[in-house]
Amino acid sequence: MRQNERMTNGGGLRERKKARTREAILREAFRLFRERGYAATTTEQIAEAAEVSPATFFRYFPTKEDLVTLDRFPPLVEALAAEPPGAPVTVLRRAFRAAFASLTAEQIAAGHAREVFAVTVPELVAANLRRTPGLLREVAGLLADKTGRDADDPRIRDALGAVFGVVTLVWWQWAGDPAMDGPAEIDKALARLESGLNE
């Protein structure tokens, strides 16, 4: 019966205050990251800018990395699960389209700002990589279902690797050029991958 706190900011004043504190920390953290870089920004500076104590900062984000690391990719996994069967690259391409289509332009833009750091700062790439094996296994399993193959079929691995690599490089380029239409570019790149790269 209780409402979804994520969307409504919860009922009580307590919940709302917590949400505001969390947002303040995130907002100030990213502002500082942009101004002076990730490594050069200390957790104390973030806490001070967000007007909370250092201890409180760590209550909200157990590690500095968590500022940039949490909650990525779920849309893609959901979209993939909902896809009809097909050839591996094709299925993944459709999943990417569906995942982006499920987000508003604002959500994509807001996500992009965060992704710039997640993709650009090595420490954060590392933090995200720490969850990548699990994600890859999950995606491989889904992909195996959709294609009627084994999860450890090398062809699944290779399709996944190729898509993963292609998307990573586009993402990277996107991080450096916010004017780019990321979703469209990803789709074009995957189309090329579908039709053969040696053409």
Residue ranges binding a copy of itself (CB under 8 A): 87-90, 122-123, 125-127, 129-130, 133, 136, 154-155, 157-170, 172-173, 185, 188-189, 192-198
Cβ count near 166 (within 10 Å): 18
By CB under 7 A, name the one of 27, 34, 36, 59 that touches DNA: 59
The SS3 call for residue 143 is helix
Rounded distance between C-alpha atoms, residue 171 and residue 136, angstroms: 17
In angstroms, give the least distance from the CB of 41 to a copy of itself: 17
In angstroms, give the least distance from the CB of 167 to a copy of itself: 8
> Is residue 107 near DNA by the rule CB under 7 A?
no
In angstroms, give the least distance from the CB of 85 to a copy of itself: 13
> Is residue 128 near DNA by the rule CB under 7 A?
no
SS3 track for 75-129: HHHHHHHHCCCCCHHHHHHHHHHHHHHCCCHHHHHHHHHHHHHHHHCHHHHHHHH
In angstroms, give the least distance from the CB of 68 to DNA: 11
Nearer to DNA (CB atom), residue 17 or residue 34: 17
Rounded distance between C-alpha atoms, residue 84 and residue 38, angstroms: 41
Q: Which does 9 bind (CB under 5 to 8 A by kind): DNA, a copy of itself, none?
A: none
Amino acid at 92: L
CB 120 within 8 A of CB 37: no
> Is residue 37 near DNA by the rule CB under 7 A?
no
In angstroms, give the least distance from the CB of 130 to a copy of itself: 5
Q: By C-alpha distance, which of 89, 79, 75 is closest to 191?
A: 89
Given the rule CB under 7 A, which residues bind DNA?
12-15, 17-18, 21, 41-44, 51-56, 58-60, 62-65
